[in-house]
């Protein structure tokens, strides 16, 4: 394992490491407005949800590493503490990237990137019609984390209203991840998608307590076929009944195939030699 001394590493290198290692990150497409009424639009991947009651989103327009300047989004929020945050689907990822261009202050990125503005219900910044979901927010606080290039500014936002396009709702009226196909930000120029090709389910641990990997039979724990993920699935059962568990690699391969389809009980039956 290689260790990095953060006191000697250059900020640009540190930024590249962090943005690659902490990924994928959701993207906030932030719509703000200045005191003269000029709209601004810019994406931020230092973003997430941090509370449900109250409903809080936080994103961070960091100071630029290269010249320690701040972004128009932050300037606008200091003037008008309101923001619309849209999420970003694959269908608008190129437009979103274009909106990150450092245009002069007063230039409308909605127009430059081909996005459609719509009046919000409760606040002055504009909704982004192409986003699957828009959050109207009031800014509760801006917490500055430093004065040097690369320092973050945590914009703590309370959600006032949520707008969801009907095309992105499932049969129960809830947001549908399959149709939204939201993108995640990675390091460098890389992004990731979230569609039916790569979405998968992970069963939650039991409400009671799974037996844990440490309680698995030794020949299962030491399998050359079963991965840590496989063992975790096998260990997420409440009770393991005694039995003679196979060490045969062909049996473990068959069990692994079942585990890939989350067929945990069937995998246990195979390992017991019952199938």
Structural domain contains residue 203: no
Profile the chain (275 residues) by mean pLDDT over runs of 10 residues: 90 91 96 97 97 98 85 96 97 94 92 96 98 98 92 96 97 94 95 91 80 92 94 91 90 93 91 82
Structural domain contains residue 4: no
- The domain that holds 171 is classified in CATH as 2.30.110.10
161 with 121, same domain: the answer is: yes
Structural domain contains residue 120: yes
Structural domain contains residue 6: no
Among 192, 223, 251, the domain boundary falls at: 192
Number of domains in the chain: 2
pLDDT of residue 69: 79
pLDDT of residue 209: 86
Structural domain contains residue 208: no
186 with 240, same domain: the answer is: no
pLDDT of residue 275: 66
The whole-model pTM stands at 0.86
140 with 248, same domain: the answer is: no
- DSSP sequence for the chain: -----TTTS-HHHHHHHHHHHS--B--EEEEEE-TT--EEEEEESSEEEEETTTTEEEE--PPPTTT----HHHHHHHHS-EEEEE--BGGGHHHHHHHTS-PPTT--HHHHHT--EE--SSSSSPEETTSSEEEEEEEEEEEE--SSTT--EEEEEEEEEEEE-GGGB-TTSSB-HHHH-B-EE-STT-EE--STTT----PPPPSS----GGGS-HHHHT-SS--HHHHHHHH-SS----------HHHHHHHHHHHHTT-HHHHHHHHTT--
| Owning domain of residue 233 | 213-271
């Amino acid at each position: 394992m290689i260790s990095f001394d953060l006191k000697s590493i250059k900020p640009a290198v540190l930024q590249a490491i962090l943005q690659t290692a902490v990924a994928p990150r959701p993207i906030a497409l932030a719509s703000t407005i200045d005191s003269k009424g000029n709209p601004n639009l810019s994406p931020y991947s230092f973003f997430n949800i941090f509370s449900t009651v109250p409903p809080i989103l936080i994103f961070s327009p960091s100071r630029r590493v290269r010249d320690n300047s701040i972004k128009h989004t932050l300037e606008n929020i200091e003037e008008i503490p309101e923001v619309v945050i849209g999420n970003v689907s694959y269908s608008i990822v190129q437009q979103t990237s274009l909106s990150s261009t450092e245009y002069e202050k007063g230039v409308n990125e909605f127009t430059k990137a081909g996005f459609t503005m719509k009046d919000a219900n409760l606040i002055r910044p504009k909704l982004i019609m192409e986003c699957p979901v828009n959050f109207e927010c009031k800014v509760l606080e801006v917490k500055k984390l430093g004065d040097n290039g690369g320092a973050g500014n945590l914009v703590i936002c309370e959600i006032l209203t949520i707008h969801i396009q009907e095309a992105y709702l499932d049969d129960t009226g809830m947001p549908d991840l399959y149709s939204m196909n939201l993108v995640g930000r990675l390091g460098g120029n890389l992004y990731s998608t979230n569609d039916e090709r790569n979405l998968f389910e992970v069963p939650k641990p039991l409400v009671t307590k799974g037996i844990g990997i440490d309680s698995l039979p030794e020949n299962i724990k030491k399998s050359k076929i079963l991965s840590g993920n496989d063992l975790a699935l096998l260990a997420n059962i409440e009770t393991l009944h005694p039995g003679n568990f196979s060490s045969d690699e062909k049996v473990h391969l068959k069990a692994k195939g079942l585990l890939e389809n989350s067929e945990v009980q069937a995998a246990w039956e195979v390992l017991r030699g019952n199938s």
